[in-house]
Amino acid sequence: MYKLSISPVFLLALISAVPGSLAQTTTAASAEPTATSNAKLHTVAKAAGKLYFGSATDNPELTNVQYISILNDSATFGQITPANSLKWDATEPARGDFNFSGGDQIVNLARANGQLLRGHNCVWHSQLPDWVSDGNFDAATLTSILQTHCSTVVGRYQGEMYSWDVVNEPFNDDGTMRSFVFTDTLGSSYIDIALQAAKAADPNTKLYINDFNIEGPGVKSTAMQNLVKDLKSRGIPIDGVGIQAHLIVGELPADIQQNIEAFTALGVEVAITELDIRMDLPATPDKLAQQKTDYQTVVSACNNVSECIGVTIWDFSDLVSWIPGTFPGQGAACPWDENFVKKPAYDGIVIGFQ
């Protein structure tokens, strides 16, 4: 009789290749130091008077059973941000051809869990389809394309989103406006157009501009403050500034709290929107201890300013973090490791809210 024989090595390779498979759930526990707190992060944030503690998530991860059981715990995460599925390339891959399958999946999940949502994003230079960037549209056509996109995407989720990153990453690090098809054709007026379209589509969602490298004082933070002042002086709707906070262990800017206060003094709220703190791999006990301190520093800076309304991490597990793919040799940026074990950084967040 024919006997099927599969080599154990082949079997292991097969299991490892399946996302969300057993292989991800049976890896040996980490030998590194781990968190000691049993407090839940959103519960702690609420007790401190914040609106939420949250995480980004992405559709492919939702099949991993360990991942989803943590994400669904609304005492841990009171807020969710779709990391990719509401971006322009996902929602309008061809002109007028809208697709909300990925966005709906995450919105439905958050609704079922009673979690707040941040929409991300209406207009950004990245993940922008070629039909927009290379279409050689004149100003009137591009204005109409932007209005249609923002009002359709924001309107789809009217009443569902606590806030929207209407404009993402408008500045270069030197504080000048980033060049891409919208600034090149419409100048900075594209920001007004996007904010006004979003306001008309969902009058109650909070309209944010979101950027990185504005965690501490400097030319880029000043440029963002000048933009907020200008928008407010002209009656263009703006409710919040999102400080992304993609940071590096041991290299935090000074004066994060004072910098947050410089924004809130302008009459907008602030949220930490994409927090992660990466290190050169491998992780060591020393680096993990510094990372704990750094998470505490950022959370505490937000906690100390009443108009800093919440903190979102840019996904919670090193298994799914964007960092290693973008910064080879770096990683371990999240509060949970790749085996879903809580790291000392978790304790740093809890302490930061006290």
Euclidean distance between CA atoms 346 and 354, whole angstroms: 13
Q: Burial letters for 261-297: b for 16+ Cβ neighbours within 10 Å, e otherwise?
A: bbbbebebbbbbbbbbbbbebebeeebbebbbbbbbb
Could you say which of 215, 274, 318, 337 contacts ligand G3I (CB under 6 A)? 274
Could you say which of 25, 101, 108, 126 contacts ligand G3I (CB under 6 A)? 126
Question: Shortest gap between Cβ of 81 and ligand G3I (angstroms)?
Answer: 9
Taking every pair of Cα atoms in the chain, the longest distance, rounded to a whole number of angstroms, is 84
86 binds ligand G3I (CB under 6 A): no
- Total chain residues near ligand G3I (CB under 6 A): 8
Q: Which residues are catalytic?
A: 274
Question: Shortest gap between Cβ of 197 and ligand G3I (angstroms)?
Answer: 20
**Going residue by residue from 25 to 44, which x/- string records binding to ligand G3I, judged by CB under 6 A?**
--------------------
Could you say which of 322, 336, 340, 353 contacts ligand G3I (CB under 6 A)? 322
Task: Locate 67 and state its tokens.
Answer: 């991942």
55 binds ligand G3I (CB under 6 A): no
Our CB check for ligand G3I shows the closer of 118 and 342 to be 118
What are the distances in angstroms from CA 32 to CA 37, 235, 253? Answer: 16, 52, 27
Footprint (CB under 6 A) of ligand G3I, residues 237-266 = 244
80 binds ligand G3I (CB under 6 A): no
**Going residue by residue from 139 to 178, which x/- string records binding to ligand G3I, judged by CB under 6 A?**
-----------------------------x----------
Our CB check for ligand G3I shows the closer of 84 and 317 to be 84
Question: Shortest gap between Cβ of 280 and ligand G3I (angstroms)?
Answer: 18
3-state secondary structure 128-169: CCHHHHCCCCCHHHHHHHHHHHHHHHHHHCCCCCCEEEEEEC
Task: Locate 195 and state its tokens.
Answer: 């904010």
Closest to 90 in 3D by CA, of 8, 156, 27? 156
84 binds ligand G3I (CB under 6 A): yes
127 binds ligand G3I (CB under 6 A): yes
What are the distances in angstroms from CA 232 to CA 134, 226, 238, 268, 270? Answer: 32, 10, 7, 10, 15
Compute, in degrees rounded to 10, the torsion defined by CA atoms 84, 89, 95, 96.
-10
Binding site for ligand G3I (CB under 6 A): 83-84, 126-127, 168, 244, 274, 322
